[in-house]
Amino acid sequence: MQLPIYLYGQSVLRKPAEEIGPEYPGLEDLISNMQDTLEHADGVGLAAPQVGLPIRLFIVDLRPLADQDPAFADYTRSFINPKILEYSDETEILEEGCLSVPGIHENVPRSTRIVLQYQNIDFTQHEEVFEDYAARVIQHEYDHLNGKVFTDRINPIRKQLVKGKLNNIVKGKVDCTYKTRASR
Ligand code: NI
């Protein structure tokens, strides 16, 4: 089932999300609905606050990039209560977008390598290294759990230039192929 995606301007996107435990109701259904939503919207990552839930959970789906890297052919992952333990000093600047910020694509610097601690759906704890594109997507989604969106990280001049577009998103003036929920 597809869920509406909350747009820039919604307060849930600015709230630090809370950790969850195994008692969280309907977690499997929620992840499956988030996967449907992400796939339909042609995105590569979706965090729970983007579907209106202030909890520490995000999913990553790198299958749209399988043409460029066959390793992504069946790359769908979910991360619960994630914590980035290490960021590489080396960073790379690449263009990003966000399903909550439709129509805006801007350069964002990100570490090229991170160490992530997270839990699986069964709440077992894992620690894993991610690099390059996967590391970027995870850092972007992780920001969502801390009330940040990628436009917070773009350079101030560019930010000024996209201000009008951001205001339109707040007002719900967007052209999306997926269901959205604007703040007004
Ligand atoms: Ni995003």
Given this model, what pLDDT does residue 184 score?
A: 72
Given this model, what pLDDT does residue 118 score?
A: 98
Write down the pTM of the prediction: 0.97
**Cα–ligand 1 centroid distance for 24 (angstroms):** 23
Residues, CB-to-ion distance under 5 Å, ligand 1:
98
> Burial of 95 by CB count in 10 Å (0-12 exposed, 13-18 middle, 19+ buried)?
exposed
Q: How do the domains of the chain map onto residue ranges? A: 5-181
Residues with catalytic annotation? 141
In whole angstroms, what is the distance from residue 111 CA to residue 123 CA?
A: 27
**Cα–ligand 1 centroid distance for 141 (angstroms):** 6
Residues lower than pLDDT 70 in the chain: none
In whole angstroms, what is the distance from residue 47 CA to residue 142 CA?
A: 8
Tokens of 87: 């960021």
In whole angstroms, what is the distance from residue 16 CA to residue 47 CA?
A: 12
For 150-163, how does the pLDDT look when each residue is reduced to its tens digit (9 = 90+)?
A: 999 999 999 999 99
For 14-48, how does the pLDDT look when each residue is reduced to its tens digit (9 = 90+)?
A: 999 999 999 999 999 999 999 999 999 999 999 99
Given this model, what pLDDT does residue 169 score?
A: 97
**Cα–ligand 1 centroid distance for 148 (angstroms):** 9
For residue 79, the number of C-alpha atoms closer than 13 Å in the C-beta half-sphere is 27
**Cα–ligand 1 centroid distance for 65 (angstroms):** 17
Q: What class is the 5-181 domain? A: alpha beta
